[in-house]
């Protein structure tokens, strides 16, 4: 007779009790609106870093006009930093939108299907791609859906089978 | 207030109550084990990626337990109707 509704959880971070674990899960892992916000914040941070990295590649190119070289070093630095800030901010915004829509839609789809497999990521990717490309019409939406779904499925597959 | 007066009379009632309580405990624990076993079979796939329940499994288990109790209740109601109408079971 194995009647143990609340078993101990060995190996949990900090030795959490089952109640604490349920609370933690209910906020961070099972709450879809929270995932929207959290995905947005994480996407913003990631996009910012990505934008800084990409902007560092971009500047040492055709932007070096003679006018720019005439300015003092401090002025050049200021212009470069402002450009870097703009690029990283726009990249951060894009990433934030994508991550927020993707994580929240995946959460909702998983909650609806009550299953955890690879099709959740594909469907969420299709929805995200479709929404992002919605301004270009139906065909662009379809392409966005297919592309993002393929990307998301590939990442999911790699994450699930990488061990 | 002594529990040792009327010990003979109290003995029979307590035995009946105890038998009923034992039976109820067996029924409840059997119900619990059935729910756990059936919902585990239905909702949790065989390959384990991690130890925690993810959202899909949590939703599935909620629905599974709820459906189990609904089925239990409706079958019990049906059986009561049948036995009330005197039909052979």
> Complex ipTM, two decimals?
0.70
Tens digit of each residue's pLDDT (9 = 90 or more) over B22-73: 999 999 999 999 999 999 999 999 988 888 888 999 999 999 999 999 999 9
Interface test with B, best of A114, A120, A121, A161 (most B CBs within 10 A): A114
CB contacts, 8 Å: A114 with chain B = 43, 56-57, 59-60, 63
Q: What is the pLDDT of residue B89?
A: 55
Tens digit of each residue's pLDDT (9 = 90 or more) over A134-148: 999 999 999 999 999
Residue A18 in contact with partner chain B when CB distance is under 8 A: no
**Alpha-carbon separation of residue A55 from A42, A87, A103 (angstroms):** 20, 6, 27
**Alpha-carbon separation of residue A53 from A40, A59, A73, A85, B15 (angstroms):** 20, 11, 21, 11, 79
User: Which residues does B65 contact at the CB level (< 8 Å), separation at least 6?
Assistant: B35, B39
**Residue A131: both structure tokens together:** 């929404």
Q: Searching chain A, which residue's CA lies closest to the CA of residue B42? A: A115
- Evaluate if residue A1 carries a pLDDT over 50: no
| Cβ A89 vs Cβ A51: under 8 Å | yes
Tens digit of each residue's pLDDT (9 = 90 or more) over A92-142: 999 999 999 999 999 999 999 999 989 999 999 999 999 999 999 999 999
Chain A, residues 65-94, CB within 8 A of chain B, namely none
**Rounded mean pLDDT of A23-48?**
88
Contact across the interface for A116 and B55, Cβ inside 8 Å = yes
Interface test with B, best of A116, A120, A121 (most B CBs within 10 A): A116
The C-alpha R_g of chain B, in whole angstroms, comes to 21
Q: Searching chain A, which residue's CA lies closest to the CA of residue B62? A: A114
User: Which residues does B29 contact at the CB level (< 8 Å), separation at least 6?
Assistant: A1, A3
Backbone angles phi, psi at B45, to 5 degrees: -70, 165
């Amino acid at each position: 007779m194995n009647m143990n509704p609340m078993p101990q959880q060995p190996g949990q971070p900090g030795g959490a009790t089952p109640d604490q674990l349920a609370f933690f899960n209910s906020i961070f892992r099972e709450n879809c609106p929270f995932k929207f916000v959290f995905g947005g914040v994480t996407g913003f941070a990631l996009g910012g870093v990505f934008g800084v990295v990409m902007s560092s590649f971009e500047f040492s190119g055709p932007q070096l006009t003679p006018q720019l070289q005439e300015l003092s070093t401090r002025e050049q630095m200021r212009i470069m930093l402002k450009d870097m800030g703009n690029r990283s901010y726009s990249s951060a915004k894009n990433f934030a939108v994508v991550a927020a829509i993707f994580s929240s839609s995946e959460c909702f789809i998983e909650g609806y299907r009550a299953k955890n497999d690879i099709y959740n990521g594909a469907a969420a990717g299709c929805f995200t791609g479709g929404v992002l490309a919605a301004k270009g019409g139906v065909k662009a939406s379809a392409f966005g859906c297919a592309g993002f779904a393929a990307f998301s499925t590939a990442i999911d597959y790699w994450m699930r089978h990488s061990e | 207030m002594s529990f040792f007066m009327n010990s003979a009379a109290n003995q029979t009632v307590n035995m009946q109550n105890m038998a009923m309580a034992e039976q109820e405990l067996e029924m409840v624990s059997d119900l619990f084990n059935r729910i756990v076993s059936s919902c585990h079979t239905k909702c949790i796939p065989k390959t384990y990626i991690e130890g925690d329940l993810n959202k899909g499994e949590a939703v599935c288990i909620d629905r599974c337990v709820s459906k189990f109790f609904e089925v239990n209740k409706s079958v019990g109601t049906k059986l009561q109707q049948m036995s009330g109408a005197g039909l052979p079971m």
